[in-house]
Chain A
């Protein structure tokens, strides 16, 4: 077991956004976490990335407890998050954003090779290496956030709402790329509101409701589950 989350509680002040969830991931899996707005999906990811500290429960990565580590320490343990919305450095160039993803690495040659790989994975970015990231389109910014997360060579990639606010054609593009990244063996936890798309590309899935996990299982099975269909797939 690569990632093991047990009885995780996370709150903002007096609000308990996540109320005791259990979640496991194996290496190389693409798992999605779906649910309505405000169900606690993003909060869960933030807790995994160390942006929020849990009030209760534990997170273990490769049998090592990381529950109390700060975000910058979790990067060292191999966790990378592509945050939701415009989680990029808007005033820095595309290239600088990518180099920041590799901040902890000192294998300069390999970093340069990885940069070229990212440009191959996202050709749109290669045309804009010197451009200020804030001037990119929403889809390009999302690509940049994912590419930047990959630059740290993570063992666990966390993706927060990669489809948010994007045109359908761009969403298709992003999801095709996510699938390609997963096919190369990357372990990915995908948080998505677009449940249908997320379930289609994932192997397993968790459904969150009001801070708790209400359903989990093989993604294809959930896709066919009438309960899920009614609640998240528009009937």
Chain B
């Protein structure tokens, strides 16, 4: 097995997932200047709700597995969009004109509330993804690649291209970019800024739901605390790419996934076996610190790209 090509594919899978979550952070920041720290929990709810639907349907119906999976996916997306919408309405909108610290603290509070809600519903157990995806393995360039990995990367690319097209080409996307630049000016065009803000939260939540399912299907059991670390990593990815910058979030996610993956793959060799792949997260947060110190505007920077 070739470590390099193996870590490359692992990093791309991880990076795709980070990128999908990071987009939610960056879109909300672009439009409101707010870090939605509850976004990681939306990812967790995506995993949890899809699991609940999967288990219920597998147990009580004889529907084909593919259809059950599709229903779970759509159900989780729908639930998370409603959740994202509600979070903005309940926690952020009343503080729209408050000092910036207030919504930030509320965001952390919201994250705690959501975590504990999930714990009350699903308990503290680790919940595994049911065995419904027949895994196939391929040997390519010395790396072990599964069909699930390929599916995650392809789906993430399709979603990111779709989002990019939506933001650059559609009427909604234009309205989002206009609102990000100036809500007052956007309103003069007949755009209702509140609706655009709601749409932004829902769009980010939909991507987070899909990412949550990917994490659950690929990395392992879902848990009510899983959103915390995922959210933190995706936030790091968004900062790495340049918070507020859409292309930056995509790039930041992929780069962070690759850094973590290569770091974890090679650290054992480099440290003579002293440190293992459990140091993976250290790389992510080292990157965050380096970026914050030396290039706070991120790889692409906020000014270069399109803010939404």
Q: Are A100 and B189 in contact (CB under 8 A)?
A: yes
- The listed residue (A71, A91, A92, A96) touching B188 by CB distance below 8 A is A71
B269 at the interface (CB under 8 A from A): no
Q: Is B175 an interface residue (CB 8 A)?
A: yes
Please tell me the number of chain A residues within 8 Å of chain B, measured between CB atoms. Answer: 25
Contact of B174 among A76, A81, A96 (CB under 8 A): A96
Which of B175, B187, B306, B307 meets A71, CB within 8 Å?
B187
Q: Is B191 an interface residue (CB 8 A)?
A: yes
A66 to nearest B CB, angstroms? 14
CA distance A166 to B191 in the complex (A): 29
Say whether B185 contacts A75, CB under 8 Å: no
User: Does B306 lie within 8 Å of A103, measured CB to CB?
Assistant: no
* Contact call B177/A75, Cβ cutoff below 8 A: no
Q: Evaluate contact between A76 and B190: CB separation under 8 angstroms.
A: yes
Q: Any chain B CB within 8 A of the CB of A195?
A: no
Q: Are B184 and A51 in contact (CB under 8 A)?
A: yes
B286 at the binding interface (Cβ < 8 Å): no
Q: Which residues B168-193 have CB closer than 8 A to chain A?
A: 171, 174-175, 177-178, 181-182, 184-193
Q: Which of A89, A99, A152 contacts B185 (CB 8 A)?
A: A89
A59-80 interface code vs B (CB 8 A; 1 in, 0 out): 0000000000011100110001
Distance to closest chain A CB from B177 (angstroms): 6
Q: Quick one: closest A residue to B182, CB to CB? A: A89
A103-B191 contact given A91-B306, A91-B307, A96-B174, CB 8 Å threshold? yes
Is the C-beta of A162 less than 8 angstroms from some C-beta in chain B?
no
By the criterion CB–CB under 8 Å, are A90 and B181 in contact?
yes
Interface check A87, CB cutoff 8 A? yes
Contact partners of A88 in chain B: CB under 8 A: 185
In contact, A104 and B190 (Cβ under 8 angstroms): yes
Selected from B174, B187, B193, the residue in CB contact (under 8 A) with A92 is B174
B172 CB to nearest chain A CB (Å): 10
Q: Which residue of A lies closest to B168 (CB)?
A: A96
Distance in angstroms between the alpha carbons of A111 and B307 in the assembled complex? 26
Q: Does A40 contact B (CB under 8 A)?
A: no
Minimum CB–CB distance for B158 against chain A, Å: 25
A83 interface residue (CB < 8 Å to B): yes
A223 interface contact, C-beta 8 A = no
A141 to chain B, nearest CB (A): 13
Contacts of B193 in A (CB 8 A): 72
A49 at the interface (CB under 8 A from B): yes
Cα(A152)–Cα(B187), bound, Å: 13
Known: A100-B174, A103-B175. A91 touches B192 (CB 8 A): no
B189 touches A152 (CB 8 A): yes
The answer to whether A101 has its CB under 8 Å from any CB of chain B is: yes
Can you name the residue of chain B whose Cβ is closest to the Cβ of A134? B181
Q: How far is the CA of A101 from the CA of B185 in the complex (A)?
A: 11
Contact (Cβ within 8 A) B190 A103: yes
Q: A81-B188, A83-B185, A152-B190 are in contact. Are A103 and B171 (CB under 8 A)?
A: yes
Q: Which of B175, B185, B307 contacts A87 (CB 8 A)?
A: B185
Docked Cα-Cα span, A101 to B193, in Å, equals: 15
Encoded as 1 (CB less than 8 Å from any B CB) or 0, chain A from 92 to 127 comes to: 100010011101100000000000000000000000
- In the complex, what's the smallest C-beta–C-beta distance from B215 to chain A, in angstroms? 34
Chain A residues, CB < 8 A from B177: 89, 91-92, 96
Question: Contact: A92 with B190, CB < 8 Å?
Answer: no
Q: What is the distance, in angstroms, from B174's C-beta to the closest C-beta of chain A? A: 6
Max chain A CB contacts within 10 Å: which of B174, B175, B307?
B174
Query: What 1/0 flags go to A26-41 for Cβ under 8 Å of B?
Result: 0000000000000000
CB contacts (< 8 Å) of A49 on chain B: these are: 188
Contacts of B191 in A (CB 8 A): 72, 100, 103
B181 near A100 (CB under 8 angstroms)? no
Q: Are A89 and B192 in contact (CB under 8 A)?
A: no
Write the residues of chain B forming the contact surface with A, with a CB cutoff of 8 angstroms. Answer: 171, 174-175, 177-178, 181-182, 184-193, 306-307
20 residue pairs A–B, Cβ–Cβ below 8 Å: A71-B187, A72-B189, A75-B188, A75-B189, A75-B190, A83-B185, A87-B185, A89-B182, A90-B181, A91-B177, A91-B307, A92-B174, A96-B174, A100-B189, A101-B189, A103-B191, A104-B189, A104-B190, A148-B189, A152-B189
Extra contacts besides A89-B182, A92-B178 (20): CB < 8 Å:
A71-B187, A72-B189, A72-B193, A75-B189, A75-B190, A83-B188, A87-B185, A88-B185, A89-B177, A89-B178, A89-B181, A89-B185, A91-B177, A91-B307, A92-B174, A96-B177, A100-B174, A100-B178, A100-B189, A152-B189
